Each structure stands twice: as structure tokens, then as C-alpha cells.
Amino acid sequence: MTPNATGVDAAIDAVTAVLLIVGAIMSLGAAIGLLRFPDLMSRMHAATKPQVLGLFLVLAAIGLQMREWWVWPVLAVAWIFQLLTVPVSAHMVGRAGYRTRHLHPELLSVDELEAVVLRAAGQRAEEKAEGEPGMPRMRDGATPGPD
């Protein structure tokens, strides 16, 4: 090996080490946030934002360390899959948590979902008051009973 190749290898190893350490710290921060944050919305944020970035840094370090071109598409697919699924799953968990009241409203700076939930609850109440869809109604508002 030439001395120049050894210097390049040492530089790649140093960059790999930095990426691995920063990625691991981001993932550790996500895990600590899951344990320490007070409500579902905060925990959901901690589970998604730093975790996706931490994973990206770890995958980049793996790609640099392997030094093979075929590794990069595989790592890119893994990261893109995480990038697409983690926010969607967090959105679904957050929405379910909001609807089941597993949140602290005083911690929300803006509650953009409240109007949507109230409107949906009002529509369900109207449907209940009207009876089952497709049932005939009498003049007094009652539904006919079974014969």
C-alpha cells in the first residue's frame, strides 16, 4: 500500500467513527426522550425526529466503512423505507392518542385538531339522533317498531 492510500483510509475511518458516534447519540436521545417526556405527543416527537436522523448517520457510516458501491443502494432503500414509514406511523399513533384523550392539552401550543374532532363528534351525534340510516321515520320523529 502506498502512504497516500493509508491516509485516505485513516480519514474514512475517522469520518465513519464520527458518524457512528453522532448517530448513536441521536438514537440514545430518542430512547431517553421516550422514557422521560411527559405525554404521548412529546414521546412521539422524540421517537421519530432524532431516530430517523440517527439511523441515516449510522447507515452512512456503514456505507463508508464497507467501501463497496453495491452497499449504497441497499442502505438507501433501508433509510427511505424508514423515512416514509416512521412519520406515517407516528401520525396514526398521535391521532389515536388525541382521540382517546391521552395527551396534556396544556402542553399544546396550538390545537389544530380540536375543530375537526368536534365537527366529527357533532355529525355522529346527529346521526344517532336521526336513527339508523335507511330507517323510515314517522311524523313525530319516532322510528317504527318491529311488527
Instruction: Report the number of distinct structural domains present in the chain.
Output: 1
Name the DSSP class of 105.
G
Alpha carbon distance 18, 14 (integer Å): 6
Is 135 part of a structural domain of the chain? no
| Residue 143, in any domain of the structure | no
pLDDT in tens, the chain (147 residues): 555 668 888 999 999 999 999 999 999 998 998 899 888 878 888 888 888 899 999 999 999 999 888 999 999 999 999 888 888 888 888 888 877 877 777 777 777 777 887 888 777 777 666 665 555 554 555 555 554
| pLDDT attached to residue 59 | 93
Question: Is 98 within the bounds of a domain?
Answer: yes
Q: Is residue 13 part of a domain?
A: yes
Question: Is residue 145 situated within a structural domain?
Answer: no
Residue 21 lies in a domain: yes
Which are the contacts of 64, defined by CB distance < 8 A and separation ≥ 6?
A: 12, 15, 16, 19
Residue 91's domain spans which residues? Answer: 3-104+111-130
pTM: predicted TM-score of the whole model, two decimal places: 0.66
24 within some domain: yes
Q: Is residue 142 part of a domain?
A: no
Residue entry with cell 412519520: 87
pLDDT at res. 132: 56
